[in-house]
């Protein structure tokens, strides 16, 4: 993802300067070609970028709480009632840009996702409970053989937050950005040169079942690398894959103390963890137990849920987030004070989240959302601004 601000890249835009009263900011979706002057695409690259792109802006309209989609002009459409079995959702697709061009969308005040797919439109269904979104980890999902990805964003009265995500999968490369009032652009999500193929090659070479996370279509097209939690569901990874590391962590903190300082602006708020049997108890400064965690399994670690449930409180949630990040990064054995203030020790243990390790290794700025709490320590691929002028999602070459 070596994308830059499209004006600087000289991309051709199809701008829409009409600003409806109910519309939010504009989002430009530029599309890079197969390669650049400095990094031409290899001859063996498949023709994925030549195929048409379809864009979807789906989410919750914050003014009403309704779920639906926005068209290119920013007009909101609520989903109709679904059924059981699920019924087809209305076609919410927006024609995406050709190579080297841009499509401009008006963004309502939404909390949602911008999906994009290559070659084929995505299939969305509606149940009585609402929208069924694509789930590539499900072999029976109608989108499993479509090359697609998505960005997540919230635009509200306080500003814009937009991020690239690999929490569920690593797939079609893209970057996100926001233009500030002074004209500068903040962006993230860029891959290093050769980073797309570099990730898949690295995952293929990682022993222990990690190569099984890669999904390939019958025509040979690599579609995605699934996140390891989904690999556990499908049997691609063994359920015991993190046990050795967890056992060593458990042994260490049976005789020493783990200190968690979850709030950077409250350095005196600390919690202290010690293992006793099958639980790790956390106390505050007075010695009273404030929360307890059971010995985690790989699914809880990779998914940052179940045994690492993180309620929106001021005690268990922040500790849980910190622990989950530390287990994924395998830093609990080398540092007894968390969160880490440096990434130098991340993913150095032989037992770690190699999916996350290999994604971060290919990012130009080192940042990614490779698991749910990758924002602990600010290592996530997120940009935000309180007065955004434009947002950018750049679809990059597959190299």
| 168 a catalytic residue | yes
**What Cα–Cα distance (Å) separates residue 45 from each residue in 10, 155, 265?**
24, 36, 48
Structure tokens belonging to residue 130: 């609402």
Domain ranges of the chain: 6-236+360-395, 243-350
- Percent of the chain whose predicted confidence (pLDDT) is above 90: 86
- The full DSSP string for 283-338 is E-TTS-EEEEEEPPPHHHHHHT-GGG---SSSSHHHHHHHHHHHHHHT-TTT-SEE
Which is the CATH superfamily of the domain at 243-350?
Beta-1,3-glucanase, C-terminal domain (3.30.920.50)
Over residues 205-226, the pLDDT tens digits come to 999 999 999 999 999 999 999 9
Q: DSSP letters of 21-66?
A: TT---EEEEEB--S--SSSPPPTT--SGGGS-EEEEEEEEETTT--
Question: β-strand 289-294 against 87-88: which pairing, if any?
Answer: unpaired
More confident residue, 328 or 14: 328
CA distance between the termini of the chain: 9
Mean pLDDT of the chain: 89
Nearest to 148 by CA among 104, 123, 117, 109: 117
DSSP string, 76-100: EEEPPP--SS-EEPP---EE-PPTT
- Count of H-run helices and E-run strands, the chain: 7, 24
Residue 341: which pLDDT band, with cuts at 50, 70 and 90?
Answer: confident
| E strand map for 128-199 | 130-132, 147-156, 159-164, 169-170, 174-179, 185-188
Strand partners, 127: 130
Between CA 258 and CA 391 the distance in angstroms is 41
* Mean pLDDT confidence for 260-281: 97
Average pLDDT over residues 372-380: 97
- E strands, 64-172, are 67-70, 76-78, 87-88, 94-95, 102-106, 110-118, 125-127, 130-132, 147-156, 159-164, 169-170
Partners of residue 95 on adjacent β-strands: 54
Candidates 3.90.650.10, 1.10.10.60, 1.10.10.10, 2.60.110.10; CATH matching 6-236+360-395: 2.60.110.10
Rounded-to-integer distance, Cα 220 and Cα 200, Å: 14
Distance CA 374, CA 377 (A): 8
C-alpha radius of gyration, the chain, whole number: 22
Catalytic one of 7, 17, 45, 168: 168
Q: Which residues contact 177 (CB under 8 A, 6 or more apart)?
A: 3, 5, 185, 186, 187, 188, 383, 391, 392, 394
Answer positive or negative: Cα dihedral of 204, 208, 209, 210: negative
Query: Residue 5 pLDDT more than 60?
Result: no
**CA angle 161-165-168, nearest 5°?**
140
- Per-residue confidence (pLDDT) for residue 26, from 0 to 100: 60
CA torsion 295-297-298-300 (nearest 10°) is -90
pLDDT (tens digit per residue) in 27-75: 667 766 544 323 333 333 344 446 899 999 999 999 999 999 999 999 9
Distance from the Cα of residue 39 to its chain's centroid: 26
User: And the tokens for 3?
Assistant: 């994308």
Active-site entry in 43, 152, 340, 349: 152
Phi, psi of 369 (to 5 degrees): -110, 75
Q: Is 380 a catalytic residue?
A: no
Q: pLDDT digits over 241-257, tens only?
A: 999 999 999 999 999 99
Is the pLDDT at 25 greater than 60? The verdict is: no
The predicted-structure confidence for 72-100, as pLDDT tens digits, reads as follows 999 999 999 999 999 999 999 999 999 88
165: burial class by Cβ within 10 Å (0-12, 13-18, 19+)?
buried
């Amino acid at each position: 993802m070596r994308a830059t601000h499209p004006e600087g890249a000289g991309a051709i835009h199809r701008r829409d300067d009409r600003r409806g009263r109910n519309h939010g900011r504009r989002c430009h979706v530029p599309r890079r070609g197969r390669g650049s002057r400095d990094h031409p695409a290899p001859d063996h690259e498949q023709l994925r970028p030549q195929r048409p792109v379809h864009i979807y802006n789906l989410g919750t309209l914050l003014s009403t709480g309704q779920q639906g989609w926005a068209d290119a002009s920013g007009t909101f459409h609520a989903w109709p009632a679904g059924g059981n079995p699920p019924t087809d959702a209305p076609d919410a697709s927006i024609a995406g840009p050709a190579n080297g061009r841009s499509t401009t969308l008006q963004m309502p005040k939404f909390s949602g996702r911008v999906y994009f797919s290559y070659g084929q439109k995505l299939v969305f269904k509606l149940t009585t409970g609402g929208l069924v979104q694509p789930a590539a980890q499900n072999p029976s999902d109608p989108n499993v053989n479509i090359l697609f990805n998505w960005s997540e964003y919230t635009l509200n009265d306080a500003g814009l937050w937009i991020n690239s995500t690999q929490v569920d999968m690593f797939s079609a490369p893209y970057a996100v950005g926001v233009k500030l009032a002074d004209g500068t652009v903040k962006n993230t999500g860029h891959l290093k040169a050769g980073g797309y193929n570099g990730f898949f090659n690295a995952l293929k070479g990682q022993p222990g079942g990690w190569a099984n996370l890669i999904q390939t279509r019958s025509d040979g097209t690599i579609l995605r690398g699934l996140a390891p939690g989904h690999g556990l569901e499908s049997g691609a990874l063994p359920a015991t894959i993190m046990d050795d590391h967890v056992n060593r962590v458990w042994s260490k903190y049976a005789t020493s103390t783990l200190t968690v300082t979850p709030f950077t602006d409250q350095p005196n708020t600390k919690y202290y963890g010690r293992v006793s049997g099958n639980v790790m108890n956390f106390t505050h400064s007075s010695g009273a137990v404030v929360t307890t965690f059971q010995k985690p399994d790989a699914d809880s670690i990779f998914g940052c849920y179940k045994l690492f449930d993180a309620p929106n409180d001021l005690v268990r949630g922040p500790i849980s987030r910190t622990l989950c990040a530390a287990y994924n990064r395998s830093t609990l054995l080398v540092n007894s004070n968390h969160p880490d203030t440096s990434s130098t020790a991340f993913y150095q243990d032989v037992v770690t989240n190699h999916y996350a390790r290999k994604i971060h290794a290919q990012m130009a700025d080192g940042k990614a959302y490779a698991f749910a709490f990758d924002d602990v320590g600010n290592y996530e691929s997120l940009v935000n601004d309180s007065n955004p002028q434009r947002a950018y999602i750049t679809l990059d070459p597959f190299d």
